[in-house]
Chains A and B, each alone.
Chain A
Amino acid sequence: MRMLALICLMLATPVFAQGSGPTPALANRQLPDPAQEAAATNLMHSLRCIQCQGQSIADSDAHMASTMRAEVRQQIAAGQKPEAIRGWMIARYGEWVSFEPDMKGAGLLLWFTPLLVLIAGIWLARGLFRRGA
């Protein structure tokens, strides 16, 4: 009985739910040039995996992340600049795919809110210091 249950578990759909395509060659193999590999890895840490949305493609084992890592390494090896590759990804999936928000639109607000809050805080506290003096 226990054996049967085990077999049923092994045959459960999730085991097969990932499909059976090969992993792209460059997904897990480093580029021969260390400088290029460093640039590629650096970029991978700031690109979001489409499948497992909280992880970067460098951290994720999802198949989509493998494909994205291979794409990054291929383009780096072909001499493409990391920021151009980020742009390539954004052109397909939107700003969402990048962990480093662009300095425009809502991204601008994100970058400058801490500064604005600090200025507001100094302005609010200003009266206190004046009275103390």
Chain B
Amino acid sequence: MNRPWLLWIPLAVVAFIGGLAMYGLAVPKDEQVHSAMIAQNLPAFSLPAATAGVEGLASGDMADGKPRLLNIFASWCLPCKAEAPYLEALKKAGIEIDAIAIRDRPEDVAAFLNEFGNPFRRIGSDSEMAVQLKLGSSGVPETYVIGGDGTILYQHIGDIRAEHVPMLIEKVNAAK
């Protein structure tokens, strides 16, 4: 063997693959599917009212110069109930919140609002999840920060918890 160092190559390859496996085990897996729509305009949509007494939601409604939150929720979604008090807190902080109800019935939405309060200005009904697909949203609940010009600025996946409230307020205010 005139080049003994060649013998080390297989070991190096195996060590590399082993290292990769260890790394894969050590790093927690991110199972969330993030929207690729950040920094882009809201897709055009127009949704009917999700329940009586609250207006429906069109993409144009959110491009009125005022940054806001867009909450994707459903009356049948448990974490949506958990985040209700924090949406209320955001509303109290002067943040305007629009919403899209996913696969919901008017009477169920009404019961949900009755029980947990209504922090929303408008609620569109996306019964076939078509708008959710256009938004690159992968589930409920999700909350988007929408700029005053209708640009999607940020996506929060999962329920809003106490620790997320100041962050969301800051992001909305930063967009002003």
Which residues of A are in contact with B by a Cβ distance under 8 Å?
Answer: 13, 16-24, 50-51, 53, 63-64, 67-68, 70-71, 90-94, 96-97, 124, 127
Once bound together, how far apart are the Cα atoms of A13 and B78, in whole Å? 9
A53-B31, A94-B34 known; A20 vs B128 contact (CB < 8 Å): no
Shortest distance between the CB of B71 and any CB in chain A (Å): 16
Within 126-145 of B, Cβ neighbours of A (below 8 Å) are at 126-130, 132-136, 138-139
Is there an interface contact between A18 and B129, defined as CB atoms closer than 8 Å?
no
A/B interface sample: 5 pairs, CB < 8 A? A20-B105, A23-B128, A50-B33, A90-B36, A124-B10
Q: Which residues of B contact A22 (CB under 8 A)?
A: 127-128
Is there an interface contact between B127 and A92, defined as CB atoms closer than 8 Å?
no
Shortest distance between the CB of A60 and any CB in chain B (Å): 13
Is there an interface contact between B33 and A93, defined as CB atoms closer than 8 Å?
yes
Closest residue of chain A to B105 (Cβ to Cβ) is A20
Within 101-154 of B, Cβ neighbours of A (below 8 Å) are at 102-105, 108, 126-130, 132-136, 138-139
Once bound together, how far apart are the Cα atoms of A97 and B102, in whole Å? 21
Shortest distance between the CB of B126 and any CB in chain A (Å): 8
Once bound together, how far apart are the Cα atoms of A64 and B129, in whole Å? 7
Question: Does residue B87 face the partner (Cβ distance < 8 Å to A)?
Answer: no
A18, A90, A93: the one within 8 Å of B76 (CB): A18
Is there an interface contact between A16 and B138, defined as CB atoms closer than 8 Å?
no
Is there an interface contact between B36 and A16, defined as CB atoms closer than 8 Å?
no
Once bound together, how far apart are the Cα atoms of A20 and B123, in whole Å? 17
Q: Which residues of A contact B135 (CB under 8 A)?
A: 92
Closest residue of chain A to B129 (Cβ to Cβ) is A67
Once bound together, how far apart are the Cα atoms of A63 and B133, in whole Å? 11
Once bound together, how far apart are the Cα atoms of A18 and B76, in whole Å? 7
Q: Which residues of A contact B89 (CB under 8 A)?
A: none
Closest residue of chain B to A21 (Cβ to Cβ) is B103
Among A19, A71, A127, the most chain B Cβ lie within 10 Å of the Cβ of A19
A20, A67, A93: the one within 8 Å of B36 (CB): A93
Once bound together, how far apart are the Cα atoms of A94 and B33, in whole Å? 8
